[in-house]
Each structure stands twice: as C-alpha cells, then as structure tokens.
Amino acid sequence: MIKLKEISIMPVAKIFCAFHAVVGIVLGVIVTIGSLTGQEDEGFWSLGPWSLLVFPIVNAGLGFLTGAFLAGGYNLFSQWFGGVEFEIEGDVSSIKLLGDVNEV
C-alpha cells in the first residue's frame, strides 16, 4: 500500500478551473437559449447572451478557489488523520514519485 501524503495545490486548482469553465460555457448556452424564449425578466435569464461571457469566468474563478481549498484541506487533514492509501498492481517502474514513499 502507498499512502498519499500531500497534493500539489496549484495543479488541482487549475484542473478545477478548467472543468468549471467548461461547465460555465454549457450553462451560458442554456441561459442564452432560455433568454430567447422570453424569460428575460426573471433572474439569470435577464443576462441573455452575456451569460456566455459571465458564466465561464465566474465558474472558472470559483472552480479555482474550490480546487485550491480542497487540495489544501486534504493536505491539512492528511497530516492529522493520515493520507489516502492506494494499492498499485502491475509494473510500477514507470510511475514518477516525488519525495519519500511511505509504504504501509
């Protein structure tokens, strides 16, 4: 068993940012189509085509913060309670490991 002690915060934050930006684009398309149906006076529908710009930017920013918060939280709690344990099967010679490998 291999224990995951720490997660790099920036790569996780970037992945969450990219994923949430894509979700924001999808939501922007949905809201734009919805605004064309005459729902412009209610809530998000009032953004209309602007939602194609606003939603990806807002979602990407929130995704970045969420990813950084979750990775930092994992790092904090893994110090207190131990990390997640993995059992790896097969040829592990191609896996790049950083730092010390703690086998349990």
- Over residues 68-78, the pLDDT tens digits come to 999 999 999 99
Give the structural domain span for 64.
Answer: 2-79
Residue 74 has φ and ψ, to the nearest 5°, of -60, -45
In a domain, 73, yes or no: yes
CA atoms within 13 A on the CB side of 19: 11
In a domain, 16, yes or no: yes
In a domain, 26, yes or no: yes
Of 9, 6, 13, 2, give the one whose Cα is nearest residue 63. 13
Residues in Cβ contact with 69 at an 8 Å cutoff, skipping those fewer than 6 apart: none
Q: Is the pTM of this model over 0.85?
A: no
In a domain, 11, yes or no: yes
Which stretch of DSSP H or E encloses residue 100? Answer: none
Encoding tokens for residue 97? 């490991």
In a domain, 93, yes or no: no
Could you report the per-residue pLDDT of 22-67, keeping only the tens digit for each?
999 999 998 888 888 776 666 767 777 888 999 999 999 999 999 9
In a domain, 45, yes or no: yes
In a domain, 89, yes or no: no
In a domain, 92, yes or no: no
The total number of structural domains that make up the chain: 1
